[in-house]
Amino acid sequence: MTGTVITVAPTGAESRKSDVPALPVTLDELTVTAKECEALGASIIHLHIRDDDARPTLDPGRLREAVAAVRSGTSLIVQLSSGGAVTDPEDARLAVLDAGPDMASCTMGTVNFGDDVFLNRWAFVVDLHTRMQERNIVPEYEIFDLGQLTTLQRLLGKHGLPAGGHVHVDLVMGVPGGMPGTAQALVACVDAIRDLPEGTTFSATGIGRSTIPVMLASLATGGHLRVGMEDTLTYAKGRPVESNMQLVARAVGFAQLAQRPPLTTGETRALLGVPQ
Ligand code: KMH
Ligand code: ZN
- Position 71 scores a pLDDT of 98
81 lines ligand 1 (CB under 6 A): yes
Main-chain dihedrals φ then ψ at residue 235, nearest 5 degrees: -80, -45
- C-beta atoms surrounding 87 within 10 Å: 9
Q: How far apart are the C-alpha atoms of 5 and 262, rounded to whole Å?
A: 6
For the chain, give every domain's residue range.
6-272
Indicate the Cα dihedral angle 268, 96, 81, 170, nearest 10°. Answer: -60
Q: Does residue 1 register a pLDDT over 90?
A: no
Helix (H), strand (E) at residue 109 = none
Res. 274 pLDDT band, cuts 50 70 90? very high
Could you give the ipTM of this predicted complex? 0.99
**83 C-alpha to ligand 1 centroid (Å):** 4
6-272: CATH topology: TIM Barrel (3.20.20)
**50 C-alpha to ligand 1 centroid (Å):** 14
- Burial group, residue 104, by CB count within 10 angstroms (0-12, 13-18, 19+): buried
Go through the chain and tell me how many residues it has: 276
Give the residue whose CA is nearest to atom 9 of ligand 1: 83
**For the chain, give me the number of helices (H) and strands (E)?**
9, 14
CA 27 and chain centroid, separation: 19
**pLDDT tens digit string along 202-248?**
999 999 999 999 999 999 999 999 999 999 999 999 999 999 999 99
Nearest ligand, measured from the Cα of 116: 1
Q: Are 140 and 79 in contact (CB under 8 A)?
A: yes
Average pLDDT in the 88-93 region? 98
Q: Are 135 and 163 in contact (CB under 8 A)?
A: yes
Q: Does residue 101 register a pLDDT over 90?
A: yes
